[in-house]
Each structure stands twice: as structure tokens, then as C-alpha cells.
């Protein structure tokens, strides 16, 4: 048996053991409570959630076994990890492929927020990444289906859609049509069964208060770093910063015809950077895209020490604060200081990395132009 298969098998066995032994906790406890309500044939009240209609369709699985949806989340994450491993193996060789697989399967973000807490962001991240992967392997129908699954569970993959649907300023109408029609069909089905409750997430996602890794939570903390200019809360700016930064980066991508994977990374990264709800689990998608860029642009990245260092620092930091989150009971009690301040350094580290990746996109563009002119 190969080392890869041994790692997958041992990880899968450990996942099953953890899922069976772990009690319902964190957000997954909320999921199960919602599925219980839906299983009774009742509509959801104004629940505090930002989940799309696909979340409701996991009700039958939860009715069979309340940990079954978690196993599905973890399973599709591992499948996406395996597909990325295969891709990296072909593009750059065994060494980087093994390192990437180890990172995906052994990182604390996966084990804490995926296996233990059961975050549905595993599902969203895996389907979003698979849509990118199948897009580049010329399987656009598969790509569209996976992106549809991600979008109908949460709305964040919508920020990836335009990059996959528009190539070299040419619109792929079929791609948009497949996703658009399937979304309409699923939401029509959802409305007939569950009424207006399926639209609650559209509102809830925009009115939530700032939290955890967000710079807005840092500004809004009791330490109020901007109090010297009488600013104590800037949460209202979050949505504007997200949208404006995304449109600027998408505009740069179109105008300068910049590298697609890197611009998907920088644009999605900027959304996370400015979203006021800075939950750790939102970074699953960015982890997949990071490793994908390393595989597809390894020759550029290996010669760019600032990119290597900033990426290593960012993910080391994120994995560290994830571990601390677990052992301090979510930064509570005597560790509340961490909850108040963690958004500040996260924003700085994240911003530096994002700027360097944008600079890399322009460097690649310049090098390609120079190569063509020669």
C-alpha cells in the first residue's frame, strides 16, 4: 500500500472515530436543531444562520443519523484533497504533492472546525475548489454543478463565479445558464416546501455584528484602537469594503488580463479580509486555492521569497489561533483579551500576503509579455 493510501485510510479511520465519539457542539449543534425542526415538517423561524436552501436538504441524512451530514462534509473535503493531490502530482511531482496532502489532512483547521465542530464550510470549500479544478480540466459542466452546490449552501462562492464564467473578456453564457437555472429550480422547490424562511440568510448575513478574526471586531473591541479620533465602530463599512475591493480586483483581472487563479485568490481573499464576521472556518476555501496556486505557479513562487514567507506566516498564524481557540474555549473568560485583539494582527498579516499575490499577478503578466515580445 502506498504512503498516500496509508495516510488517507488512517485519516478516514480517525475521522470516523472522532465523529462518533464527539458530542454535538459549536455550529453543528445548531444545524442539527434546525434539521429536527424541518424533519417535523415545520418551517424554520428567523434562525440566526446564513445558510442557503441546500442546507435544508441535508435533513433526511440527519434524520438517519445526526452525525451523517458531518461525515458527508468531511468526505467531500477529503475527496477534494485527493483530487488536488493528483493534480499537483502531475504538475510538480511527488514532493510538493505529499506536502500539500499532509497540509490538507493534518492541519488543525480541518480537525478542529471540520472533524470536531462539523462546520459546513468544509462542504462549501470543497465544492468551490472542485469547480475551479474541473474548470481547468475543461469539464465545465462538472465545474458549474459543483459551484452551484457551493452557492446554494452558502453565498460566498458567488465571488468566484464571474472569474469562471468570463474568460479573456468573453462570457461563457452556458456556464452562467447552468448555474442560474439550477439555482432558480432549487430555490423554487425550497420555497414551496419551506416558504419565506429560505430567504432569511440573505438578510442575516448583512446584519451580523463583527467577530473574531475581523479587523472590524478589533476596531469595535473594548480597547477601541481608533478612540483617539472618536471612532468606536466601523462595522457598517464592511460590506462596502468587501464589494469595492472585489470589483477593483475583478476589474484589474479583466483590464490587464491577469492570471485567473491568482486573481481568484486575491479577490476571494479580499472578501475574507473585509468581511466583518471573521470566523476561522471561512478560510477553508482559501487554503485549497493557495495550494492550487502553488502547484500551478511553482516555478514563479519558488523564486519569490516574499510570497513564500508571507504565505507560511499567514497559515502558521491561522493554524495557531485555531488551536488557541480550542484550548481557550473560544477565547472566553480569562482569554477574552485574545478575542478582542486577534483581528488586528490577522488583518495586517493577511493584507501583506494579499498585496504580494497581486504583485505576483502583475509580475507574471510582465514576464509573459516579455517572453512574447522576444
pLDDT (average), residues 166-177: 87
Quick one: 1 and 150 in the same domain? yes
Residue 175 has pLDDT above 70, yes or no: yes
Q: Is the residue at 370 inside a domain?
A: no
pLDDT digits (tens, 9 = 90+) for 342-362: 999 999 999 999 999 999 999
Residue 126 has pLDDT above 60, yes or no: yes
Quick one: 254 and 335 in the same domain? yes
Most confident of the following: 24-33, 208-217, 343-352 = 343-352
Quick one: 87 and 221 in the same domain? no
Quick one: 314 and 238 in the same domain? yes
Give, to the nearest 10 degrees, the angle between helix 121-136 and helix 284-296.
20
Give every CB contact of residue 275 below 8 A, 6+ residues apart in sequence.
214, 238, 242, 282
Report the alpha-carbon distance of residue 128 to residue 138 in Å, rounded. 16
Quick one: 18 and 78 in the same domain? yes
Q: What is the three-state SS of the chain?
A: CCHHHHHHHHHHHHHHHHHHHCCCCHHHHHHHHHHHHHHCCCCCCCCCCCCCHHHHHHHHHHHHCCCHHHHHHHHHHHHHHHHHHHHHHHHCCHHHHHHHHHHHHHCHHHHHHHHHCCCCHHHHHHHHHHHHHHHHCCCHHHHHHHHHHHHHHCCHHHHCHHHHHEECCEECHHHHHHHHHHHHHHHHHHHHHHHHHHHHHHHHHHHCCCEECCHHHHHCCCCCCCHHHCCCCCHHHHHHHHHHHHHHHHHHHHHHCCCHHHHHHHHHHHHHHHCCEECHHHHHHHHHHHHHHHHHCHHHHCCCHHHHHHHHHHHHHHHHHHHHHHHCCCCCHHHHHHHHHCHHHHHHHHHHHHHHHHHHHHHHHHHHHHHHHC
250 vs 200, residue with greater confidence: 250
Quick one: 26 and 104 in the same domain? yes
The predicted structure's pLDDT at residue 328: 95
Q: Is the residue at 212 inside a domain?
A: yes
Confidence of residue 11 (pLDDT cuts 50, 70, 90): confident
Quick one: 152 and 227 in the same domain? no
Q: Is the residue at 257 inside a domain?
A: yes
Any bridge partners for residue 277, and if so which? Answer: 211
The predicted structure's pLDDT at residue 374: 54
Q: Is the residue at 128 inside a domain?
A: yes
- pLDDT > 90 in the chain, percent: 67
When the pLDDT of each residue in the chain is averaged and rounded to a whole number, the result is 90
The predicted structure's pLDDT at residue 369: 74
Residue after which a domain boundary falls, among 199, 219, 242 = 199
Quick one: 265 and 308 in the same domain? yes
Q: Is the residue at 374 inside a domain?
A: no
Residue after which a domain boundary falls, among 146, 177, 199 = 199
pLDDT (average), residues 52-79: 93
The predicted structure's pLDDT at residue 355: 97
Q: Is the residue at 262 inside a domain?
A: yes
Q: Is the residue at 371 inside a domain?
A: no
Residue after which a domain boundary falls, among 199, 220, 242 = 199
The predicted structure's pLDDT at residue 372: 56
Residue 179 has pLDDT above 60, yes or no: yes
The predicted structure's pLDDT at residue 191: 85
Q: Is the residue at 83 inside a domain?
A: yes
Nearest CA-CA partner of 253 in 147, 362, 356, 133: 362
Confidence of residue 46 (pLDDT cuts 50, 70, 90): low
Quick one: 2 and 70 in the same domain? yes
Domain extent at residue 295: 208-365
Least confident of 127-136, 195-204, 257-266: 195-204
pLDDT (average), residues 9-13: 83
Query: What is the domain count for the chain?
Result: 2
pTM for the model: 0.93
CA angle at 112 for the pair 39 and 34, rounded to the nearest 5°: 15
Quick one: 20 and 157 in the same domain? yes
Quick one: 185 and 233 in the same domain? no
Report the alpha-carbon distance of residue 253 to residue 166 in Å, rounded. 10
The predicted structure's pLDDT at residue 246: 97
Quick one: 234 and 190 in the same domain? no
Amino acid at each position: 500500500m502506498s504512503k498516500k493510501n496509508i495516510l488517507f485510510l488512517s485519516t478516514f479511520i480517525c475521522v470516523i472515530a472522532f465523529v462518533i465519539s464527539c458530542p454535538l457542539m459549536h455550529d453543528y449543534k445548531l444545524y442539527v436543531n434546525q434539521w429536527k425542526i424541518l424533519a417535523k415538517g415545520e418551517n424554520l423561524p428567523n434562525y440566526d444562520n446564513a445558510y442557503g436552501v441546500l442546507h435544508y436538504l441535508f435533513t433526511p441524512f440527519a434524520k438517519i443519523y445526526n452525525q451523517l451530514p458531518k461525515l458527508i462534509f468531511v468526505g467531500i473535503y477529503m475527496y477534494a484533497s485527493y483530487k488536488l493531490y493528483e493534480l499537483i502530482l502531475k504538475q510538480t511531482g511527488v514532493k510538493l504533492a505529499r506536502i500539500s496532502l499532509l497540509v490538507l489532512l493534518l492541519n488543525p483547521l480541518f480537525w478542529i472546525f471540520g472533524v470536531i465542530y462539523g462546520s459546513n464550510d468544509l462542504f462549501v470549500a470543497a465544492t468551490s475548489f472542485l469547480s475551479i479544478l474541473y474548470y481547468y480540466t475543461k469539464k465545465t459542466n462538472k465545474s458549474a454543478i459543483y459551484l452551484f452546490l457551493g452557492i446554494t449552501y452558502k453565498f460566498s462562492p458567488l465571488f468566484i463565479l464571474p472569474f469562471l464564467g468570463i474568460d479573456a473578456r468573453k462570457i461563457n453564457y452556458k456556464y452562467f445558464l447552468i448555474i442560474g437555472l439550477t439555482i432558480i429550480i432549487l430555490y423554487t422547490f425550497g420555497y414551496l416546501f419551506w416558504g419565506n424562511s429560505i430567504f432569511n440568510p440573505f438578510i442575516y448575513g448583512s446584519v451580523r455584528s463583527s467577530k473574531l478574526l475581523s479587523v472590524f471586531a478589533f476596531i469595535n473591541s473594548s480597547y477601541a484602537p481608533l478612540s483617539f479620533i472618536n471612532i468606536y465602530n466601523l462595522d457598517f463599512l464592511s460590506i462596502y469594503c468587501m464589494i469595492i475591493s472585489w470589483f477593483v480586483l475583478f476589474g484589474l483581472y479583466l483590464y490587464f488580463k491577469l492570471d485567473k487563479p491568482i486573481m481568484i485568490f486575491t479577490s476571494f481573499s479580499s472578501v475574507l479580509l473585509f468581511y466583518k464576521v471573521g470566523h476561522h472556518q471561512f478560510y477553508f476555501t482559501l487554503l485549497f486555492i493557495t495550494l492550487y496556486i502553488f502547484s500551478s505557479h511553482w516555478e514563479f513562487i519558488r523564486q519569490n521569497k516574499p510570497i513564500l514567507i508571507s504565505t507560511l506566516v499567514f497559515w502558521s498564524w491561522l493554524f495557531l489561533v485555531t488551536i488557541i481557540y480550542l484550548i481557550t474555549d473560544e477565547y472566553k473568560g480569562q482569554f477574552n483579551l485574545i478575542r478582542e485583539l486577534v483581528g488586528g494582527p490577522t488583518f495586517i498579516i493577511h493584507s501583506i500576503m494579499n498585496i504580494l499575490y497581486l504583485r505576483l499577478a502583475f509580475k507574471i503578466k510582465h514576464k509573459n509579455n516579455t517572453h512574447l515580445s522576444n
